[in-house]
Structure 1
Amino acid sequence: MSVVTLTRFRIDPADAAELRLRHAALVSAIRSAAPGLAEARLGKLDDETWIGIWRWESTEGLRAAREIAPARPESTAAFSLARDVTVEQMEIIDEG
C-alpha cells in the first residue's frame, strides 16, 4: 500500500530558487540510495509557505529512506533553508 508524506515548512522568499535546486538534489539522492520513492512534488501556498509531497510504494521504502536521509548532505542542505517544519504521514486507502 502506498504511503504519502506531507512536509510543510516556511522559507525566506529570497531562497525560493535555491530551495528548488536543493529539493531536486535531495530527491535524486534519496532515489539512488533508497528504492521505493514513486513521486516527489514541491509546491507553495504563498511566497513563504511550501509543501513537499512524497509518495512511497510502501512503508518499508519510507522507513529505509528515513534511516539514511539524516546523514545525507542533500537533506542537511535542503532543510537548512526551512523553518517551522511539520510532517504528516498517511496510507493511501483508495487510488483513483
Structure 2
Amino acid sequence: MSLIAVTRFEAVDTVEATEVRDRHTALVQAVRTATPGLTEARLGQLPDGQWVGVWRWDSMDTLKSVRELAPNLPEVKAAFALVREGTSAVEEIEVLDEL
C-alpha cells in the first residue's frame, strides 16, 4: 500500500523561492538515484509563505529505508539548510483508496 508524506516548513528569511525549488529538485533526484520507490514529489507554497512538500512512496518500508540513507546524502543537508529551525512538521498518510 502506498504512503504520502507531507512536510511543512518555513524557509529562512534570506532565501529566494528559486533556491528552495532548485534544492528540492536536487533532493528528489538524489533520493530517486539512491533508492527506488519515490513515485511522486511535489513542492508548493501556501499563502502564508509556508512551504509544503508532498511525496508519494510505494510503501512504508521504502520510506523507512530512505530515512536511514538520508543523513548521508549531501542534497538532504543542502535542502534542510534552507529550513528555519523548529518549523518542520511531517505527516504520513497511508493511502486506502485510489479512485
**TM-score, with structure 2 as normaliser:** 0.91
Structure 2 regions of 5+ residues with no counterpart? Answer: none
The 4+ residue runs of structure 1 with deviation greater than 6 A are: none
Q: Do structure 1's residue 63 and structure 2's residue 64 form an aligned pair? A: yes
Compare the two structures and name the one with the higher strand fraction: 1
Match of 1:51, SS?
A: strand
Q: Do structure 1's residue 89 and structure 2's residue 89 form an aligned pair? A: no
Compare the two structures and name the one with the higher helix fraction: 1
Match of 2:91, SS?
A: strand
Structure 1 regions of 5+ residues with no counterpart? Answer: none
Distance (Å, rounded) in 2 between the aligned partners of 1:26 and 1:73:
9
Q: Is the 8 A contact 2:15 2:82 kept in 1?
A: no
Residue 75 of structure 2 is matched in structure 1 by 74
Q: Alignment length, in residue pairs?
A: 96
Aligned AA (1:54): W
> What is the aligned-residue identity percentage?
52
